[in-house]
Amino acid sequence: MRAQVFVRLKPGVLDVQGKAIERGLAENDFSAITNIRVGKLIEFDVAATNADKAHQIVESVCQKLLANTIIENYEIKLG
Amino acid sequence: MRAQVFVRLKPGVLDVQGKAIERGLAENDFSAITNIRVGKLIEFDVAATNADKAHQIVESVCQKLLANTIIENYEIKLG
């Protein structure tokens, strides 16, 4: 089963990559684009007997390895 | 309009972040997870009169700033 995990900085946490992109956009006349946030997209295969079990494994790996839950939120998509 | 851009390394391009996560998983007994690829998730607001115009702006910013099209693919979602 293919899993997607989206890791985003929590609202209010300074996004330095986002700010850098905003500066780049301003220099390239893309004023239509605002409020940029940069996160991570992590995709992988999960071997599990059913979707519930797969979700449990992915949840555990997010907590332990993929996200820093002090400053980041994560979202899981299976399918 | 909120836009999401997913930037992924092209197939065959070495994913060093993915390899580092794979090593971390092996050390933490997550053998159920394989084939990890790490990409970027970029989210922002686009000011445009309609969806076609918004898509055009996002396409342009992907080409010029967000993706390195030699080694990366991008996917756009508007909504």
- Closest CB to A34 among B25, B28, B45: B45
Residues of B in contact with A36 (CB under 8 A): 42-44
Question: What DSSP character marks residue A10?
Answer: P
Residues of B in contact with A15 (CB under 8 A): none
CB contact under 8 A, B42 and A24: no
Instruction: Name which of B43, B40, B69 is nearest A43 in CA terms.
Output: B40
A23, A14 Cβ separation under 8 angstroms: no
Both tokens of B20, joined, read 């580092």
Three-state SS annotation for chain B: CEEEEEEEECCCCCCHHHHHHHHHHHHCCCCCEEEEEEEEEEEEEECCCCHHHHHHHHHHHHHHHHCCCCCEEEEEEEC
Render pLDDT for B36-70 as a digit per residue (tens, 0 to 9). 999 999 999 999 999 999 999 999 999 999 999 99
Higher pLDDT, B30 or B8: B8
> How many structural domains are present in chain A?
1
ipTM entry: 0.92
The CATH number for A61's domain is: 3.30.1280.10
For residue B3, name the pLDDT band (cuts at 50, 70, 90).
very high
- Separation CA B8–CA B67 (nearest Å): 9
Measured between CB atoms, does B50 come within 8 Å of chain A? no
Measured between CB atoms, does B21 come within 8 Å of chain A? yes
Q: Which range of residues forms the domain containing residue B43?
A: 2-78
CB contact under 8 A, A42 and B21: yes
φ/ψ (deg, to 5) at A56: -65, -45
